[in-house]
Amino acid sequence: MDVSIIIINYRSPQLIINCLGSVYQFTSGVTFEVIIVDNDPKNGGGATVREAYPEVRWVDMDWNAGFGIANNAGMAIAKGKYFLLLNADTLVTDNVIGRCFDRLNQRQDIIACGALQYYADGSPMPFYQSFNDFRRTFFILPPGPTVENVVKRFYPEPKYSDPDQYDWLVGAFIFVRREGYEKTGGFSSDFFMYGEDVEWSGRLGKLGKLCIFKDCTFIHLENDNPFRRTNISWINRFSTQMQVSNFLWVRKQYGAFQYLLLIAHYLFMIPIVFGWRISFNIKNGDKPLSQLRTQKIYLRKTGVLLKYFWDTLFLKKGLYKIKPHENIDLLTASS
């Protein structure tokens, strides 16, 4: 078996059917199996997928284990020489799977590769070019070239001789050698959603190169989920679950000091974001405490980060999944 394609189902049967339709239509030159891991067997609509594609292998989870743990369950039973972790809300538009297979057969220095994401309308989806590119976005600082240059001095871009090499691969499409899973143990079981692909990439990168080939592309539809960010603003650029996961990744990969620096920064910014808005209101003749909704959301999200402070600082084992009353994005989506 050349490739084991692993897809996570969470109440998205039609998306999976569409995804598999594109895989079977365009994939050639490789033998492959499809493994579906269902995070909600009772409500997931798995029967619909099995009826359309009876040959798929199916794994029912006992609970909604999130992205990483469910993928680990699929990789644990996979038979392929390579694994392709593929989101349910994706479509391939050519033989990208066969191309990745050929590239990794030719390039033994590569442990895993990815592909460029495109929106459904055919426009390219932006992505973070490196770990430090991602980390710089965690800091809430005034926009402008001066500030950006200072931050880049502390978090510079890596320099690779290989133009296809990157720090990390997006979890929606990861084509990895079997030994990449076997030697790392797969995704960390601490992550529920978000950040797990970044953290795993850090460990995979110690085994070989991570590459994204410009001629390898796929469509990512970005299916809605209850943890997706809302009320996006300069100070609320990430969802609550994203931030909890992102901070856990920073603690794991870069140590306690970098994690504490982020926490201190977010606390320091509380009076600043409120003070700026109040000053702006006064200047415009409005009530000082009016129009503070964005600042209050920021305060509530920071409060959730603090609830996970000790667990994150001491890297307590367990699933870092926010509770329903901590999902500030969902709670404020319609308010």
Share of the chain above pLDDT 70, in %: 97
- Rounded Cα–Cα distance for residues 125 and 17 (Å): 23
- Rounded Cα–Cα distance for residues 299 and 305 (Å): 10
What pLDDT digit, counting tens, does each position of 88-121 carry? 999 999 999 999 999 999 999 999 999 999 999 9
Q: Would you say residue 226 has pLDDT above 80? A: no
Quick check: 70 and 39 in contact, CB under 8 A?
yes
Mean pLDDT, range 155-179, rounded to an integer: 96
Side chain identity at residue 205, one-letter code: G
pTM for the complete prediction? 0.93
- Rounded Cα–Cα distance for residues 240 and 305 (Å): 8
pLDDT at 89: 96
User: What residue spans define the domains of the chain?
Assistant: 3-128+168-220, 240-332
Tell me which CATH homologous superfamily contains domain 3-128+168-220: Spore Coat Polysaccharide Biosynthesis Protein SpsA; Chain A (3.90.550.10)
Share of the chain above pLDDT 90, in %: 89
315: left (phi over 0), alpha (psi -120 to 50) or beta: left
- Rounded Cα–Cα distance for residues 245 and 322 (Å): 10
When the pLDDT of each residue in the chain is averaged and rounded to a whole number, the result is 94
Lowest average pLDDT, out of 76-90, 104-118, 226-240, goes to: 226-240
- Rounded Cα–Cα distance for residues 118 and 315 (Å): 35
- Rounded Cα–Cα distance for residues 19 and 92 (Å): 7
- Rounded Cα–Cα distance for residues 250 and 259 (Å): 6
Mean pLDDT, range 191-216, rounded to an integer: 97
